[in-house]
């Protein structure tokens, strides 16, 4: 069964969205590098790699189903934020937008009766819950830290301990 053309188009748009998110996280990593907050920078870099892997999951799904793949241009991300909290708030807002997009794709896959795409998107629905939760927690911790440089450095150290094995495998 060939895929619904509108669903293919929406999945291609989501590939772009995932790659754009990867680029935004890389910009956030550059921002944190400029502050010498290596833990935050590394965490954002790992998020960038994770978003790239998400885009590739959709890419591979389309390829496996012999559906056309189109790649759109990406805009340059910002590398400047007001403070660490504003960068993390922007990351959370981005993930909330992605959750909305994934939910719309999920509904579209169901309405088309495309259960293969629904199976792919089941994973994304669960992943978005984790993404939003981790960023909400980090944002709450930054709020609690307030203007305390010591608290910021403690958070930075904790983020530097993110184990690469915590990330999903590429592909």
Question: How does the average pLDDT of the chain come out, rounded?
Answer: 92
> What are 6-57's pLDDT values in tens digits?
999 999 999 999 999 999 999 999 999 999 999 999 999 999 999 999 999 9
Contact status, residue 50 vs residue 167, Cβ threshold 8 Å: yes
For residues 1 and 62, the model is more confident at 62
133-145 per-position pLDDT tens digit: 999 999 999 999 9
Residue 147, CB-side half-sphere exposure with 13 Å CA sphere:
0
Q: Is 167 helix (H, G, I), strand (E, B) or coil?
A: coil
**Structural contact between residues 162 and 41, judged by C-beta atoms closer than 8 angstroms:** no
Task: Encode pLDDT of 66-100 as tens digits.
Answer: 999 999 999 999 999 999 999 999 999 999 999 99
What is 5-166's CATH number? 1.20.1260.10
d(Cα 47, Cα 88) in Å, to the nearest integer? 12
Give domain limits for the chain.
5-166
CA torsion, ordered 148, 154, 159, 165, to nearest 10 deg: -170
Question: Measured between alpha carbons, how far is 74 from 54 in angstroms, rounded to an integer?
Answer: 16
What the block records as the tokens of 129 is 């819950």
């Amino acid at each position: 069964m060939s895929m619904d053309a509108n669903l293919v188009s929406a999945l291609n748009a989501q590939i772009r969205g995932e790659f754009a998110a990867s680029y935004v996280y890389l910009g956030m990593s550059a921002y944190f590098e400029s502050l010498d907050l290596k833990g935050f920078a590394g965490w954002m870099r790992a998020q960038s790699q994770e978003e790239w892997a998400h885009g590739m999951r959709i890419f591979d799904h389309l390829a496996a189903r012999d559906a056309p793949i189109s790649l759109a241009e990406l805009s340059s991300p910002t590398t400047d934020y007001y403070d660490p909290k504003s960068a993390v708030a922007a990351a959370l807002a981005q993930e909330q937008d992605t959750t909305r997009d994934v939910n719309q794709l999920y509904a579209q896959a169901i309405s088309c009766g495309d259960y293969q795409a629904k199976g792919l998107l089941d994973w994304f629905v669960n992943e978005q819950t984790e993404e939003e939760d981790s960023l909400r927690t980090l944002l709450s911790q930054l709020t609690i830290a307030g203007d305390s440089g010591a608290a910021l450095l403690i958070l930075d150290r904790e983020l530097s301990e993110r184990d690469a094995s915590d990330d999903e495998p590429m592909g």
